[in-house]
Structure 1
Amino acid sequence: MGKNITQNLRKMLKLYLLFLFLAALAFMGLQYLCITTTLVFNTVHPRIIGPLYPYLIEEPSKCGGDPPFLVLLIPSKPQDVLIRDVLRKTWANESLVLGISIKRIFLLGRSFVNNTEVSVEQESSTFHDIIQQDFLDTYHNLTIKTLMGIEWVSRLCPRASYVMKVDADMFFNPWFLVRQILQPEKPLKLEFFIGLVARGIPFRNKDSKWYISYEMYSNNYYPYYCSGTGYVFSGELSPRIYKEAMRLAFIPFEDVFLGICLARMGVHIYKPASKWFVGEKAEYNRCHFTRLVTVHHYRPDELLKLWPDFLKALEDCTG
């Protein structure tokens, strides 16, 4: 009988030791899971504060010296070398507005083609006006591309007075924007955001270019936002917008996404009484165009053709 008791005690001891071993393993596994979850939470989108992707081209000294009055953020495809050249010769010329410091930055993702990447590097070394991160340059990454520009301004050009994101297929009048709207002789406009104001509903048709699932955005209406063709905001909003963006899951429509960020931040979009931002193609009218900020759908060849006359119109049309 004593022998049976001893055997039972041994079995119970073995079971107890096995239980302690399994409990220790479970505890270590839970610790590892918690640590891993914390690391992922803090180091991957959308929970990081810092560049979303590594910079391939960064231009850290672009805003060295006195802070610029206006920074132009221009999304561009890596292969669109000719378009960038035309913009440098027309509305993206940094010295157009006398006495006003303007900096242009072309926003690029990575190309699928190695030869294109080599060409971009050569272009960058010549003009020093390109920033590029290591994400594929596609339509659905436009939000990432725009946030790259905002992050860059927040970190490397934090004292810029104003920032404008403007598409490459636009006519843009920097004189009207600077002199009539931003007015550098007056105090800086804080929490200022202006553009072509829009509001829409999410497209639920999967065949639509603008399709968005309920999982990505569940509300029936988007908040008010400014068309991504061209909008302007005070530089002090840059870090705030970027920080808010990092709290959200991205949607591929950058203008809508920024509208969501602004609504959450409590920043109201300024609605001008006049139509300064034109979202559709408008036939060139020299005097009328001197009283606009942007007009959509202008090809590089059209810009080159009208630009000399527009420069004369700035002197002729003074009423």
Structure 2
Amino acid sequence: MRQLLNTTKCFVLISTASVFSLLGLFLHGKRYQQMHRSYDTRSTVQQFRHIPAVTYTASTVYEYPDNYSQYFNADLKREVTPLNFKTLIDRPGFCDKNSTFLMVIILTMHSHVELRNGIRTTWGAAARTGRWAGKLLSQSVQYLFLLGTNNNSQWNKKVQAEANIHEDILMFDYTESYNNLTYKVLTGLQWLQKNCADIRYVMKIDEDTFIHLPRILKKLSSPEWNQSICGFYAESEAVMTTSKNANDFSVYPFTHYPPHVKGNIYFMPFSIASRLVNVSRHFVFNVIEDVHITGILARVIGLRNKYKGFTRAEYSRGTPAHACDIATGIRVASTHTSPAYYSEIWNKINDPDACISIRQQIQKYFSGNAE
């Protein structure tokens, strides 16, 4: 009798273990689908943003994207990241007058009026007039500043007044914050889809980035650049686990990001940008803007090996470029640019006697007389 009871207990334990093992395999197989579904239970985007995702265990965190390629399959029948923000400051008819070759969207903050004016009086002025240092730009360029709402209503009113004067600001009804940068770019691109559908290329930059428009336009005249996602390229970067850029493994279950370009400055054909916006609605949201848009979503739509990166001689992410390097076109862009530095660079661009030794060296190089 005792032997029979022991045999029965053993059978029950084995059966129970088998059931839990099968259940574990089933749940592991469904975990990717659950991750997406967990985000689709609220009616508004702002509520949606705070819904907890599936918690991953160590066994479901992968090293590289290729180790779990199923993650990048979007469910096109299900909208999990709505972009239904209202446009609070609009620019209807902004693109009606002329076709635009390059549209630059600029991420800015309410209080950074001087940085916006720094752009308006330098390379932004060249975009409006079509002239750079007295010469015609080869293609048409326009720009728009993007903003969410500030918790201080007075700042929203000040920006509205500024927008009435300059007519170069869009504001949407998400809250202005670091965690909403991805929304900021996607809603800006979505607005362009609806209002500027005929633009050829789109560039995203931060407000402290000075761009050398002739150099950028020259790159876009080359098939090497005009069919790719372009910027400061990161091929296989480890995710961060601390700071505001810390990876949420419940959203992105890898220790390395896919190839992407950095967010200070990047540009691409608008046809690619439109595809990224369209698929973003069907894929789990990630707060790391540049990784999500130029890396994760790019992979979701099947863009692999479609990147073109700046050389370190052309662009440095960490420090501002020397004013003469920008003025002479050695560098394509400078980050961490202050309002005063905007003016200094612009003055050198428009002064043929500035940076004369560098200009002479460049002229000698391209004339074939460099030693």
Query: For the superposition of Structure 1 and Structure 2, which TM-score range results when normalised by the shorter chain?
Result: 0.7 to 0.9
Question: Structure 1 residues 188, 281: closer, same or farther in 2, change over 3 A?
Answer: closer
DSSP-derived class of the 1:107 partner: strand
Aligned twin of 2:96: 64
Question: Structure 1 residues 283, 154: closer, same or farther in 2, change over 3 A?
Answer: closer
Q: What does 1:273-288 correspond to in 2, within 5 Å?
A: 275-287=313-325
DSSP-derived class of the 1:68 partner: coil
Count of aligned pairs:
276
Amino acid at match of 1:228: G
Aligned partner (choices 215, 226, 240) of residue 261 of structure 2: 226
Whether the 8 Å contact between 2:101 and 2:140 is mirrored in structure 1 is yes
TM-score by length of 2: 0.68
Whether the 8 Å contact between 1:225 and 1:256 is mirrored in structure 2 is yes
Identity among equivalent positions (%) equals 22
Whether the 8 Å contact between 2:324 and 2:355 is mirrored in structure 1 is no
Give 1:311 shift: 2.7
DSSP-derived class of the 2:91 partner: coil
Question: Structure 1 residues 282, 81: closer, same or farther in 2, change over 3 A?
Answer: closer
Q: What does 1:125-164 correspond to in 2, within 5 Å?
A: 125-164=164-203
Amino acid at match of 1:276: E
Whether the 8 Å contact between 1:159 and 1:236 is mirrored in structure 2 is no
| 2-structure distance, mates of 1:222, 1:117 | 36
Unaligned runs of 5+ in 2: 1-36, 49-78, 364-371
| 1-structure distance, mates of 2:237, 2:150 | 32
Aligned twin of 1:181: 219
| 1-structure distance, mates of 2:186, 2:323 | 34
Aligned twin of 1:166: 205
Amino acid at match of 1:201: A
Unaligned runs of 5+ in 1: 1-36
Give 1:312 shift: 3.0
Question: Cα RMSD over matched residues?
Answer: 2.7
Which stretch of structure 1 is more off in the superposition, 289-298 or 221-230? 289-298
Amino acid at match of 1:295: S
Amino acid at match of 1:209: K
Aligned twin of 1:248: 283
Amino acid at match of 1:118: K
Question: Structure 1 residues 272, 300: closer, same or farther in 2, change over 3 A?
Answer: closer
Which stretch of structure 1 is more off in the superposition, 41-50 or 235-244? 41-50
Aligned partner (choices 287, 305, 309) of residue 271 of structure 1: 309
Amino acid at match of 2:346: W
Aligned twin of 1:53: 85
Aligned twin of 1:195: 231
Aligned partner (choices 90, 96, 107) of residue 75 of structure 1: 107
DSSP-derived class of the 1:60 partner: coil
Q: Deviations over 1:264-293 (max 9, x none)?
A: 222221235674332121451515651222
Aligned twin of 1:88: 120
Question: Structure 1 residues 174, 77: closer, same or farther in 2, change over 3 A?
Answer: same
Q: Deviations over 1:2-57 (max 9, x none)?
A: xxxxxxxxxxxxxxxxxxxxxxxxxxxxxxxxxxx9xx779655827974311101
Question: Structure 1 residues 63, 119: closer, same or farther in 2, change over 3 A?
Answer: same
DSSP-derived class of the 2:334 partner: strand
Aligned twin of 2:246: 211
Aligned twin of 2:338: 299
Q: Deviations over 1:208-248 (max 9, x none)?
A: 22112211110121011111000011111222010121121
Q: Deviations over 1:148-167 (max 9, x none)?
A: 11111111111111111011
| 2-structure distance, mates of 1:312, 1:278 | 24
TM-score by length of 1: 0.78
Q: Deviations over 1:188-219 (max 9, x none)?
A: 976421000014222234xx221122111101
Question: Structure 1 residues 189, 297: closer, same or farther in 2, change over 3 A?
Answer: closer
Note if 1:101 corresponds to 2:136: no
Question: Structure 1 residues 190, 50: closer, same or farther in 2, change over 3 A?
Answer: farther
| 2-structure distance, mates of 1:77, 1:238 | 23
Aligned twin of 2:351: 312
Q: Rg bigger for which structure?
A: 1
